[in-house]
Structures are given as structure tokens and as C-alpha cells.
Amino acid sequence: MRKKIVVGNWKMNLTRAETESLLSSLLPLISDATAQVGVCPGFVALSTVADQLSGTNVGLGAQNVFWKESGAFTGFVSPAMLKDVGVTYVLVGHSETRGRFGKLEVPATTVGFFAETDETVNLKIKSLLPHGFTPILCVGENLAEREAGNTDSVIQSQLDGALVDLSADEIAKLVVAYEPVWAIGTGQTCDTPEAERVCGMIRAHLRTKVADVAKSIQIQYGGSVKASNAADLFSQPNIDGGLVGGASLMAEEFAAIVKAAG
Ligand code: PEP
């Protein structure tokens, strides 16, 4: 009953010309995809990519948002601005923007800039929903948390913080991405049974908030998804597709991942 959804996160890669070239190769390869598909370019390429996606089966995503509508917030991008360029999906709470950096080594002076908290994730979701966006809420444990046996409690607390004061109808509009931090960009994918177990745990935790609505919420796995492991991951009952970083920068590899989702 849930459609699969595969979203490419291009991160801080690709000039406009490079996005154009990647999409020219990719779009013909996935024109018959039955899964929902999206790509998230950097902010400055959104408009160009929107033009190229027009009339295709691929949705436009943004990698971040600021929760205020407008004002003196130098360097940030509002929901209204994203709406204006035709964005559908917005990543929120990605581990690369949270205050827990996982593998990233960020100089202390940039900590304030990157330090996403559960509270700011919640503010972002609340700012996106009235515009009709689909927020993709990223949650996941880092290696130290996993090794300490805290995977489930860390994720439950991220969900609790992100979903404060949201109704079941609002929560139903989200996609949740389980992204173990230690698997992102490392080539070390979470093994399928464990990815399925955590996605099932996420669904069970959502059920405590929204009862049966939890059955309809799409839950992606993200963390070194590749063509070679996508079909196995996506065949699991609680894994409804993938959030894909590195592999989404390669047309044939990403197309194979999309095909693995149906
Ligand atoms: C991501 O950026 O969300 C991600 C999962 O990256 P990668 O696929 O490169 O691990």
C-alpha cells in the first residue's frame, strides 16, 4: 500500500552545467519508473533543475530550509523561496546539518552554523507543512551511540523532538529516512536485517503517536545505498525506498537503484 520513494541528495556537488548533464543522462533511464523519485540539488541549481524536471516523473527537493518566512536572516533560504522554484521535498535533520557530526570534522568556529537540533528540526517541519511540502525527516545514530547500545533510544528521542505538537494528519505528510551516521558516505551499508529492524522500530514508535496512520508513512533507508544492495534493502517490509548520496551522482548507478524500487 505504500509507494517506494528514492531521493538523490547531491549535497555540495555539481555546477548548473553539471546538473544538466547528469539529468540528461538520468531522465531517459528512469522515465518508466513506478517508484516516486526526487533529486536534491544545491540551492543555486534549484531553478535550473526545476526547468529540466518539468513534465518528468522526478520531483525537485531541497537539502535544507530556514523556518522563517522572510526577514533579516542573512544566508538562509525560506519555505516561500523554495515554493517559488517548485520544490516538493525538503530534507530536514540530515546528520551533516545536525550538531552531532559523525564522521565529519568541522572546525569549532562553524559549529553554530551547522548545529541543527531536534527543536530546529521541529520548527522546520512546522514551517514546511502549511506550504504543502513533503519534509524528509532524517534520523539515525552515530557509531558511538550504536556501540553503546543506544540506537533505538537515540532515534526515538530524535522522532519525539522532531514531531512535537504535530497532529496525526501532519505526521502523515512526512517521509522518514533512517540514516545511520556511520553508514553515510563510508561505503559501509547497514546490513539488511538490521536496517529492516530499525525501520520497523521507527514505524512502531510512530504508531504510538499516530496509531494506524503509521502504516501509511514511507520510511526510507539511507547510508551507502548502491545498485548492488538496493533491491535487497527495498524488498524489506518496512523499507520503502532510499535516500541516496554518493550513488545519486552517477546516472546509471542511480537509475539502477530507482529500478530496484520498482
Ligand atoms: C545521504 O547523504 O543522505 C547519504 C545517505 O549519503 P551516501 O549514500 O553517500 O551514504
What pLDDT, in 10s, does the model give residues 25-56?
A: 999 999 999 999 999 999 999 999 999 999 99
- Is 94 assigned a catalytic role? yes
DSSP SS3 for 9 = strand
Atom 8 of ligand 1, residue of closest alpha carbon: 245
111 Cα–ligand 1 center, Å: 21
Ligand 1, CB within 6 Å, residue ranges: 9, 179, 184-185, 222-225, 243-247
For the chain, percent helix, then strand, then coil, each to nearest 5? 45, 15, 40
Instruction: Please tell me the distance between residue 132's alpha carbon and the centre of ligand 1 in angstroms.
Output: 25
Closest residue (by CA) to atom 7 of ligand 1? 245
pLDDT for residue 262:
87
Q: Phi/psi of residue 189, each to 5°?
A: -75, 145
Beta strands in the chain, from DSSP E residues, in sequence order: 5-9, 36-40, 58-62, 89-92, 134-139, 175-178, 218-222, 241-244
CA of 173 to the centre of ligand 1 (A): 22
Residue 179 designated active-site: yes
Q: What is the structure's pLDDT at 158?
A: 96
Residue of 39, 103, 181, 184 with the most ligand 1 atoms within 8 Å of its CB, for mutation = 184
Q: Give the residues of the chain that fall short of pLDDT 50.
A: 101-103, 111
What's this model's pTM, rounded to 2 decimal places? 0.95
Ligand 1 atom having least distance to the Cα of 248: 8
Q: Please give the Cα distance from 88 to 126 (Å, whole number).
A: 15
Share of the chain above pLDDT 70, in %: 94
For position 103, what pLDDT does the model report? 47
Sign of the dihedral through C-alpha 62, 64, 167, 234: positive
Rg over CA atoms, the chain: 17
* Residue 95 alpha carbon, nearest atom of ligand 1: 3
40-55 CB burial, b ≥16 within 10 A, e <16? bbbbebbebbeebbee
DSSP-based three-state secondary structure for 167: coil
Q: What is the pLDDT of residue 209?
A: 97
Q: Which amino acid makes up residue 255? A: A
- The alpha carbon of 72 and the centre of ligand 1 are apart by a number of angstroms equal to 32
